[in-house]
Structure formats: C-alpha cells, structure tokens
C-alpha cells in the first residue's frame, strides 16, 4: 500500500453527520499501519483556532470573513498539513476550501471569482512544488437535504453564526457543494447521508477500498461484532 501522504477533506452542510465518521476512518487507517493527522477548518493550529472563534461568533463583513478563513487556512497548511503530507501521513480534515465556496460563496453570495483568487494565493507556495496549489486528493461530500439536516440539528447545541441560518441558506450551501462537485468530479466522492449510519459507513469505506487506500472493508465503529 502507498506510503505517500494523502490529503482527504470532509464536507457537507451542518447536520449532515460527517464528524462522527471521520474518527472511525482515522481508526481504520491506523489499524492498517498508517499515521493519521486529524484536523479541521477553520482551525487546526493555535492561530487558526483563534481565527475560528472570531469567524464563528463575531459579526463581520463578507470580505473580512473570507480573508480570515483563508488566513487560517494558510497557517494550517504551513504548520500542519504540508509537514504531515511530507511525513507520509493520512490527513483527514473536517472541511476545507469547498466549504468556503459553499458557505461564503453560495450561502452568503460572496463573489466566487474573488474566492478563487484568494484560494490560489493562500494555497500556493506551501507544497514542495512551488507552483502547486494544494488541494485535497479526495473530498468526501456528505449530501443531505437541508430540511433533514435541520431536524437532526434541532436542539443539539447552541448554534453558531452559520448553524443559526434559515433553511434557505442551507439550500444555497447545498447547491454550492453540488456545483463544486460537478466542477471537479474526479476529486469528489458523494455519500448519500440520508442513509442509516451503518450504510453511510459502508459507502464511505468502499470509496477508500476502491482507491486502494484501505485494504479491507472495515466494520462500522461501535457496531457489535
Ligand atoms: P463545523 O465543521 O460545522 O464545526 P462544528 O461541527 O464544530 O460545528 O464548522 C463550523 C462552521 O464553519 C460551519 O457552519 C461551516 C463554517 N465554515 C465556513 O463558513 N467556511 C469555511 O471555509 C469553513 C471551513 C467552515
């Protein structure tokens, strides 16, 4: 099995259920002898976690929000993601730039051409290849109808600036993800997140097995053997 680094991001609207599966995948990779770096965005470094607090809680205009998110992303790439890939780790990242196109672009209506410019600035010049714009090798997209996601989230916790948005916002965000997936189908794996947890896990792991990144189907985490 390949020992070169792998960069995998996980995306979907709030409530799509991605977070619970990321830990399971980390365990599966570790069980097969891989070193795993688990991280999230915005965040993943002390500086980026401070920026996350601001972005999720403090009112700000759309450009400020986008700049802070990409500033956090660059720090995360420089401090954590690139060094981990250089070591040959599997990097599992809860959200990355597709979230910016979905939430700030489609959700908030921020200019996606400008986001593309920021993306190029923030993600280039950190990899060993100077001209490479670092992107995930694979993006797992947990696709779920916004109405179902809203039901799952209801009462779960105190909502942040994004979780408190109305369902129409999440319809646009979901469309934003669909557009990003259509534009880069070779990078995206769509998971039908409306299925029960066990089936979501099966669909998820089968993607990794097909790619040769996991060698066997792994049982659902927490399932009784
Ligand atoms: P989330 O993964 O939902 O964290 P948690 O499970 O702890 O709530 O991410 C936090 C929020 O940040 C989420 O609502 C989406 C938003 N977000 C953006 O708006 N733009 C981005 O670029 C990223 C990475 C996240």
CA of 42 to the centre of ligand 1 (A): 7
71 in helix, strand or coil? helix
- In this predicted model, what pLDDT tens digit does every residue of 53-90 receive, in sequence order? 999 999 999 999 999 999 999 999 999 999 999 999 99
Is residue 40 in some structural domain?
A: yes
Angle at 50 between CA 146 and CA 140, to 5 degrees: 35
Is residue 219 in some structural domain?
A: no
Is residue 64 in some structural domain?
A: yes
d(CA 183, CA 37): 27
Is residue 21 in some structural domain?
A: yes
Nearest CA to ligand 1 atom 20: 100
Number of domains the chain contains: 1
**Which ligand 1 atom is at minimum distance from the Cα of 103?**
19
User: Smallest Cα–Cα separation from 221: which of 73, 162, 204, 121?
Assistant: 204
Probe target for ligand 1 pocket from 103, 109, 122, 163, with the most ligand atoms within 8 Å of CB: 103
Is residue 218 in some structural domain?
A: no
Range of the domain at 98: 6-211
Q: What is the pLDDT of residue 43?
A: 98
119 Cβ closer than 6 Å to some ligand 1 atom: no
72 in helix, strand or coil? helix
Is residue 167 in some structural domain?
A: yes
- In this predicted model, what pLDDT tens digit does every residue of 101-141 receive, in sequence order? 999 999 999 999 999 999 999 999 999 999 999 999 999 99
94 Cβ closer than 6 Å to some ligand 1 atom: yes
pTM of the model: 0.95
What CATH number has the domain bearing residue 54?
Answer: 3.40.50.300
Would you state the structure tokens that stand for residue 218, as one six-digit string?
A: 């792994």
CA of 2 to the centre of ligand 1 (A): 31
The mean of the pLDDT values for the chain is: 94
């Amino acid at each position: 099995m390949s020992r070169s680094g792998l960069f995998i991001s996980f995306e979907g609207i709030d409530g799509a259920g991605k977070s619970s599966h990321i830990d399971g995948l980390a365990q599966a990779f570790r069980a097969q002898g891989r070193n795993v770096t688990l991280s999230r965005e915005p965040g993943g470094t002390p500086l980026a976690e401070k920026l996350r607090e601001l972005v999720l809680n403090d009112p700000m205009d759309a450009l400020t929000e986008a700049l802070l998110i990409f500033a956090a992303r660059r720090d995360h790439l420089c401090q954590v993601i690139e060094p981990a890939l250089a070591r040959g780790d599997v990097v599992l990242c809860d959200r990355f730039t597709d979230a910016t196109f979905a939430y700030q672009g489609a959700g908030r209506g921020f200019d996606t051409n400008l986001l593309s410019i920021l993306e190029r600035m923030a993600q280039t010049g950190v990899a060993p290849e100077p001209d490479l714009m670092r992107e995930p090798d694979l993006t797992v997209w947990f696709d779920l109808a916004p109405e179902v996601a809203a039901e799952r989230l209801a009462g779960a916790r105190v909502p942040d600036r994004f979780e408190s948005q109305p369902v129409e916002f999440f319809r646009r965000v979901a469309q934003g993800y669909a557009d990003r997936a259509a534009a880069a189908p070779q990078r995206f794996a769509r998971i039908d997140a409306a299925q029960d947890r066990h089936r979501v896990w099966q669909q998820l792991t089968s993607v990794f097995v097909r790619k040769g990144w996991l060698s066997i189907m792994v049982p659902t985490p927490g399932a009784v053997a």
